[in-house]
Amino acid sequence: MTDTGSEHTKTEEPTLKRVMGPGLLLLFIVGDILGTGIYSLTGKVANEVGGVVWLPFLVAFTVALITAFSYLELVTKYPQAAGAALYTHKAFGIQFITFMVAFAVMSSGITSASTASRAFAANFSSAFELDLKTGVWITVIGLLFMSAVAAINFRGVGESVKLNVLLTCVELSGLLIIVFIGMWALGVGDGDFGRVTEFDTGDRTALGGVIAATTLAFFAMVGFEDSVNMAEECKHPSKIFPKVLLIGLITTGIIYILVSITAVALVPPDQLGEGDTPLIKVVEAGAPSFPTDIFAYISMFAVANSALINMLMASRLLYGMARQGVIPKALGKVHPTRRTPYVAIVFTTLLAFGLITFVGEVPALGGTTALLLLGVFTVVNIAVLVLRKDPVEHSHFKTPTFLPILGAVSCGFLTTPFTDRPNEEYKVAGILLAIGVVLWAITWYLNKKTGAEPAQLKPEELTGDGPVN
């Protein structure tokens, strides 16, 4: 006679390990936001608005903060790994829309990681004083770097998050160095802090220039949404998320504004906008005796952290959606020993290889990341309002109703051509979403052939109260 209970125990799919408490979650959020954007795109934002480079960062922070309140309500209500895709699935119940939102979020993470890989190569060149400006070398270093990220990701979330702690401390130290240099310059009368009120928007109006710059600066503020995809690896997510997410977002917003003010005070905006290592120029101008090669190392590790966290997010997102049956279940397989979603890690790494090899420079990739996420944020803000009619048994955070409305309007507007967003970003995003449509068709065909249907969510699956280690 077969022991069905024992058989079930042997064949039951392993679950993700809960290793993240409030401290690790805070460092995860701060480390994800502080990274490639501020280290590589500050100069590009200055190109759009001149000396008021801090203003687009402030506007982007405000829009991100409004949307963060919507994420807080949803992640404490549905603490599962699939994030925005899960919220879309719950709110609208249309599999195609759910799939495309999942694919857009995944693409934004991989695009962001690819942006980081190119920035890593630029800082690698500066740190080791090498001439690696040719596209071939940038690509080779980017691919090697992404392979290392995949290996760390596969090793385990515990190892990945511990490395994130180290890298977050490194990148935070780099930004604090910039802030202290700015304070020193202000104290001794160096620099031109009068620049911080000067607009230089070219042919645009001041408002038009700020809006255009905000679409790029928003890339520096994204990252907080990655944390919701780690919900199944957090201890008591419904309790710890609200305070931790808000503290992390506000902290990074303040640091960004201080860094951008210091940068433009010490380096003229036109010079700041040249190349992909603007903060190294700030160190050279404000503290000539400071060893700039050390800061180049710091910048290199900072963008490495962004890549690691984004690839963690992308693989966990695929895992979460595969467990819900929205994409092929093979992508949800968990390694029996490492307890990591190894198939999803391989899949997302291969996509990153393609972007690193065939897609353009840092600003285009960063702007495309922001464009994709702004579209997703619009949907999430609407989903909050729709899901108010879906009560759950456990207590959760609830955001004031006017915030999701304001978030949907502001995020939706920033995706439109009225912001003077470069056409290249729409083209890259369009190609990525077209790939998503093809993958949806393949998934639909496989499900139809096998008779599989997406799983129905059960109330007990939404509590997030799994095994805690």
Alpha-carbon 207 to chain mean position: 27
Q: Is 18 helix (H, G, I), strand (E, B) or coil?
A: strand
Instruction: Look at residue 230 in the predicted model and tell me its pLDDT.
Output: 66
Q: How far apart are the first and last CA of the chain?
A: 35
To the nearest 10°, report the CA torsion of 69, 70, 75, 76: 60
Phi, psi of 199 (to 5 degrees): -95, 140
Instruction: Look at residue 289 in the predicted model and tell me its pLDDT.
Output: 83
Q: What separation in angstroms does the CA of 30 have from each of 171, 211, 232, 247? A: 10, 25, 19, 9
The 8-class DSSP code of residue 194 comes to G
pTM for this prediction: 0.80
Instruction: Look at residue 156 in the predicted model and tell me its pLDDT.
Output: 67
Instruction: Look at residue 456 in the predicted model and tell me its pLDDT.
Output: 46
Determine if residue 287 is left, alpha or beta; phi over 0 gives left, psi from -120 to 50 gives alpha, anything else beta. beta
Q: What separation in angstroms does the CA of 289 have from each of 43, 286, 370? A: 23, 9, 36
Instruction: Look at residue 315 in the predicted model and tell me its pLDDT.
Output: 85
Instruction: Look at residue 64 in the predicted model and tell me its pLDDT.
Output: 94
Q: What separation in angstroms does the CA of 160 have from each of 238, 305, 310? A: 23, 10, 11
Sequence-distant contacts of 204-209: CB under 8 A, at least 24 apart: 204/420, 208/420, 209/48, 209/49, 209/50
Instruction: Look at residue 231 in the predicted model and tell me its pLDDT.
Output: 66
CATH number of 17-313+348-451: 1.20.1740.10
Instruction: Look at residue 460 in the predicted model and tell me its pLDDT.
Output: 31
How many angstroms separate the CA atoms of 215 and 416, rounded?
A: 10
Domain boundaries, the chain: 17-313+348-451
pLDDT tens-place values along the chain, 469 residues long = 444 444 444 445 555 566 567 777 887 788 778 777 788 788 889 989 999 999 999 999 999 999 999 998 988 888 776 578 788 888 998 878 887 887 888 888 888 888 888 778 777 777 776 665 556 777 788 889 999 989 888 876 565 566 667 777 887 888 889 999 988 888 887 888 889 999 998 888 899 999 999 988 998 888 777 677 666 667 776 677 888 889 999 999 999 999 999 999 999 998 888 777 788 889 888 888 888 778 888 888 877 877 877 888 788 777 876 776 667 777 788 888 878 888 989 988 988 888 888 765 666 778 888 999 999 999 999 999 999 998 888 888 899 999 999 999 999 999 999 888 888 889 889 988 887 787 777 777 777 777 665 544 332 332 222 222 2
Instruction: Look at residue 469 in the predicted model and tell me its pLDDT.
Output: 24
